[in-house]
Amino acid sequence: MKFTFSPHIAIQVKDYGKAVSFYENVLGMKPEKRSEKETHFSKDGINFYIENSGGGSTFFEFRVESVKQAQEILEAEGCKVTQVYSEKSKMISDPYGMKFHIWEE
């Protein structure tokens, strides 16, 4: 199974308006799309999604050939599925405290 790092990172923040301003005006990220719940920024080939949420979490993601097969491998290593978006898109929690998204095309 090949896990290919995807150039997408989601950052959940508490003070959404101030965070969006910070990432745009201080860090120089380019806004691509905005909504009340999420702003998509780009910088240096990476996509950042600032999410209006409870804050405190950062998620990265991997593209896989088969979410089902990847899930089996990850669960055998102590990971857990924490959210199912679809059969081809799931959030995973590893046994060390990090969460990441896996998806297939």
Q: Give the tens place of pLDDT for each residue, 34-91.
A: 999 999 999 999 999 999 987 778 889 999 999 999 999 999 999 999 999 999 999 9
Distance from C-alpha of 70 to C-alpha of 64, rounded to nearest angstrom: 7
Residue 35: domain span: 3-103
pLDDT at 84: 96
CA distances from 83 to 26, 88, 95, 99, 100 (A): 32, 12, 16, 10, 10
Q: What is the pTM of this model?
A: 0.79
Q: Return the CATH number at 46.
A: 3.10.180.10
Q: Which amino acid is at 62?
A: F
Name the domain count of the chain.
1
Q: Is the CB of residue 58 less than 8 Å from the CB of residue 99?
A: no
Which two three-digit tokens encode residue 2?
A: 């090949």
Q: Is the CB of residue 42 less than 8 Å from the CB of residue 30?
A: yes
Query: Which one-letter DSSP state was computed for residue 15?
Result: S
